[in-house]
Structure 1
Amino acid sequence: MVPFPASLLPAAVPLLLIILLVAVEPQAAYADDTDGDRDRMRYSRVFAFGNSLTDTGNAAVFPVTAGGPFTMPPYGETFFGHPSGRASNGRLIVDFLVEGLKVPQPTPYLTGRTAADFLNGTNFAVGGATALDPAFLASKGIMSFVPISLSNETSWFENVVRLLKSSSDYDQHRKTMASSVFYVGEIGVNDYFFALSNNSVNVAASLVPHVVGAIRSALTIMIAAGARTVAVSGMLPIGCEPQQLALFPGGPGDYDPATGCIARFNELAELHNLALKRMLGELRLAYPGRSLLYADIYRPVVSAVASPASYGFGDTPLAACCGGGGGPYNFNFSTFCATPGSTACADPSKFVSWDGIHFTEAANRFITRDMLKRLL
Structure 2
Amino acid sequence: MAIATSIFWLSLLFVSTKGCHFPAIYNFGDSNSDTGSVSAALGPLPPPFGETFFGQPSGRYSNGRLIIDFFAEKLGVPVLHAYLDSIDPNFRYGANFAASGSTILLADGKSIQAGFSFLSLVIQVSEFEQFKNRTIELYNQVHNAAFPGLSAKTLKIKSRIPRPEDFSRALYTLDSGQNDIHYALISTPKEQLKAHITNATNQFALSTKKLYDDGARAFWIHNTGPLGCLPYFVTNYPPKAGDADQHGCVKSYNEVAQEFNKRLKEKVSQLKTLLHDAVFILTDMYSAKYSLISEAKQHGFIGPMAYCCGHLGDNPVECGKTAIVNGTQVYGASCSDPAKYISWDGIHYTDAANHWIANRIIHGSLSDPPIPLIQACDNHIVTQQ
Return the match for 1:88 from 55, 62, 68.
Answer: 62
**Residue 319, structure 1, aligned to residue 323, structure 2:** no
1:79-119 deviation digits (Å, cap 9, x = unpaired): 001111100000001111101111122221112499x9433
**Residue 177, structure 1, aligned to residue 145, structure 2:** no
| Runs of 4+ in structure 1 over 6 Å off | none
Q: In the TM superposition, what are the counterparts of 1:161-200 in structure 2 within 5 Å?
A: 161-166=132-137, 167-168=139-140, 175-185=165-175, 187-198=176-187, 200=189
What is the distance in 2 between the residues matched to 1:106 and 1:232?
Answer: 17
Q: 1:101/1:54 Cα in 2 relative to 1: closer, same or farther (>3 Å)?
A: same
Q: Which residue of 2 aligns with 1:7?
A: none
1:217-236 deviation digits (Å, cap 9, x = unpaired): 11111111221211111011
Higher relative contact order (CA 8 A, sep 6+): 1
Return the match for 2:98 from 115, 125, 149.
Answer: 125
Return the match for 1:260 from 214, 237, 248.
Answer: 248
1:249-306 deviation digits (Å, cap 9, x = unpaired): 234401112x221011000000000111111111111111311111211112111111
Q: How far 1:200 sits from its partner (Å)?
A: 4.3
The two structures, once aligned, show a CA RMSD in angstroms of 2.7
Return the match for 2:319 from 328, 331, 337.
Answer: 337
Letter of the 2:51 counterpart? E
The alignment partner of 1:122 has SS state of strand
Contact 1:255 1:263 in 2 (8 A): yes
What is the distance in 2 between the residues matched to 1:274 and 1:97?
Answer: 25
What is the distance in 2 between the residues matched to 1:333 and 1:133?
Answer: 32
What is the distance in 2 between the residues matched to 1:199 and 1:357?
Answer: 21
Q: Which residue of 1 aligns with 2:358?
A: 368
Q: Report the number of matched residues.
A: 323
The alignment partner of 2:348 has SS state of coil
The alignment partner of 2:27 has SS state of strand
What is the distance in 1 between the residues matched to 2:259 and 2:284?
Answer: 13
Q: Which residue of 2 aligns with 1:49?
A: 28
Q: Which residue of 2 aligns with 1:301?
A: 289
Q: Which residue of 1 aligns with 2:49?
A: 75
What is the distance in 1 between the residues matched to 2:217 and 2:120?
Answer: 23
Q: 1:40/1:91 Cα in 2 relative to 1: closer, same or farther (>3 Å)?
A: closer
Q: How far 1:52 sits from its partner (Å)?
A: 1.2
Q: Which residue of 1 aligns with 2:369?
A: none
Q: Report the TM-score when normalising by structure 2.
A: 0.77
Contact 1:324 1:332 in 2 (8 A): no
Contact 1:131 1:214 in 2 (8 A): yes
Structure 2's unaligned 5+ residue stretches are 1-8, 13-17, 144-161, 323-329, 364-371, 375-385
Q: 1:245/1:40 Cα in 2 relative to 1: closer, same or farther (>3 Å)?
A: closer
Q: How far 1:371 sits from its partner (Å)?
A: 3.5
Return the match for 1:269 from 251, 257, 272.
Answer: 257
Q: 1:222/1:371 Cα in 2 relative to 1: closer, same or farther (>3 Å)?
A: farther
Q: 39-48 vs 147-156, which deviates more?
A: 39-48
Q: How far 1:333 sits from its partner (Å)?
A: 6.6
Q: How far 1:204 sits from its partner (Å)?
A: 3.7
Q: How far 1:40 sits from its partner (Å)?
A: 7.5
The alignment partner of 2:362 has SS state of helix
Q: How far 1:124 sits from its partner (Å)?
A: 0.5
Contact 1:240 1:260 in 2 (8 A): yes
Return the match for 2:298 from 310, 325, 347.
Answer: 310
1:20-40 deviation digits (Å, cap 9, x = unpaired): xxxx99x9xxxxxxxxxxx97
1:52-100 deviation digits (Å, cap 9, x = unpaired): 111111111213xx24xxx111110110011111000000011111011
Contact 1:337 1:344 in 2 (8 A): yes
Q: 1:358/1:203 Cα in 2 relative to 1: closer, same or farther (>3 Å)?
A: farther
Instruction: State, as a whole percentage, how many aligned pairs show the same letter.
Output: 30
Q: Which residue of 2 aligns with 1:206?
A: 195
Letter of the 2:195 counterpart? S
Q: 1:312/1:241 Cα in 2 relative to 1: closer, same or farther (>3 Å)?
A: same
Larger Rg: 2
Letter of the 2:352 counterpart? A
Q: Which residue of 2 aligns with 1:286?
A: 274
Return the match for 2:83 from 99, 105, 109.
Answer: 109
What is the distance in 2 between the residues matched to 1:129 and 1:206?
Answer: 19
The alignment partner of 1:134 has SS state of coil
What is the distance in 1 between the residues matched to 2:113 and 2:279?
Answer: 35
Contact 1:49 1:124 in 2 (8 A): yes
Return the match for 1:61 from 40, 53, 70.
Answer: 40
What is the distance in 2 between the residues matched to 1:333 and 1:221?
Answer: 44
Q: 1:256/1:335 Cα in 2 relative to 1: closer, same or farther (>3 Å)?
A: same
Q: How far 1:153 sits from its partner (Å)?
A: 0.3
Structure 1's unaligned 5+ residue stretches are 1-23, 28-38, 326-330
Q: Which residue of 2 aligns with 1:147?
A: 118
Q: 1:333/1:278 Cα in 2 relative to 1: closer, same or farther (>3 Å)?
A: farther
Q: How far 1:196 sits from its partner (Å)?
A: 2.0
